[in-house]
């Protein structure tokens, strides 16, 4: 097993997080301050729950996290976090009601990734589609000044997606955390200060 995997997997176990992905959000938040105390956060592709646990810690008892994933998460979440097993892009009654109750949101964060095929361009296209869908949902539920984070497999569509955020957010950045695997094509697209909003 490679050293970087050893380090982040072991660190996640020590810190009681179900996956190493938590350190990506931690780095993003340290750099861009996408999350803050008292914020309401929508976490897309939340299972197994590391991002939600970190977000819940940052927003504190006054904040709320709504975590959504197609896959069930058997993680124990704190009182300020609600997990729903659902398709975020075809929300049923339970998710709609939860978004209405908990939202509008100060941040929408997405660590979603497609099931990879091993074909670079197919995987990138599918990742781009998830980003587009996450952005469309974010536009429905974000407050003015809200923040957006989405994982993207870098490829031909990435620049167009980043450019599309520039008309919607005050600041747009791309970022590759140190905790991302070296060979991974993933980057995170960050939009700060949503210009629309509820």
CA atoms in the 13 A half-sphere facing the CB of 147: 19
Confidence of residue 65 (pLDDT cuts 50, 70, 90): very high
Question: Residues of 70-86 as b/e, b for ≥16 C-beta within 10 angstroms?
Answer: eeebebebeebbebbeb
Confidence of residue 4 (pLDDT cuts 50, 70, 90): very low
pLDDT above 90: residue 198: no
- Give the domain ranges of the chain: 3-194
Looking at the whole model, is its pTM more than 0.85?
yes
* Multiple choice CATH, 3-194, 3.40.50.2000, 3.30.70.260, 3.40.640.10, 3.40.50.150: 3.40.50.150
**Packing angle, helices 50-59 and 22-32, rounded to 10:** 40
User: 2 an active-site residue?
Assistant: no
Mean pLDDT of 169-176: 96
pLDDT in tens, 147-161: 999 999 999 999 999
CB 72 within 8 A of CB 47: yes
- 104 upstream amide cis, omega within 30 of 0: yes
* pLDDT value, residue 182: 62
For residue 150, give the nearest of 198, 98, 119, 109 by alpha carbon: 109
Highest mean pLDDT among 18-22, 181-185, 191-195: 191-195
**3-state SS class at 105:** strand
**3-state SS class at 168:** coil
Confidence of residue 3 (pLDDT cuts 50, 70, 90): very low
pLDDT in tens, 86-112: 999 998 999 999 999 999 999 999 999
Catalytic site residue from 3, 115, 120, 151: 151
Distance CA 171, CA 173 (A): 7
């Amino acid at each position: 097993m490679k050293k970087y995997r050893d380090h982040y997997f072991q660190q996640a176990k020590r810190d009681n997080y179900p996956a190493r992905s938590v350190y990506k959000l931690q780095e993003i938040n340290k750099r861009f301050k996408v999350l803050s105390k008292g914020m309401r956060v929508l976490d897309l592709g939340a299972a197994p729950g590391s991002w939600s646990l970190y977000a819940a810690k940052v927003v504190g008892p006054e904040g709320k996290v709504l975590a959504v994933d197609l896959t069930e998460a058997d993680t124990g979440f704190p009182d300020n976090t609600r997990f729903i097993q659902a398709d975020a892009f075809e929300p049923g009654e339970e998710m709609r009601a939860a978004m209405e109750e908990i939202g509008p949101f100060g941040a929408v964060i997405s660590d979603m990734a497609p099931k990879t095929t091993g074909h670079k361009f197919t995987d990138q296209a599918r990742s781009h589609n998830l980003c587009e869908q996450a952005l469309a949902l974010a536009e429905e539920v974000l407050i003015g000044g809200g923040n957006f984070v989405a994982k993207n497999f870098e490829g031909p569509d990435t620049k167009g997606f980043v450019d599309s955020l520039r008309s919607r957010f005050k600041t747009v950045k791309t970022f590759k955390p140190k905790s991302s695997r070296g060979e991974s094509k993933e980057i995170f697209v960050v939009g700060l200060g949503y210009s629309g909003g509820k």
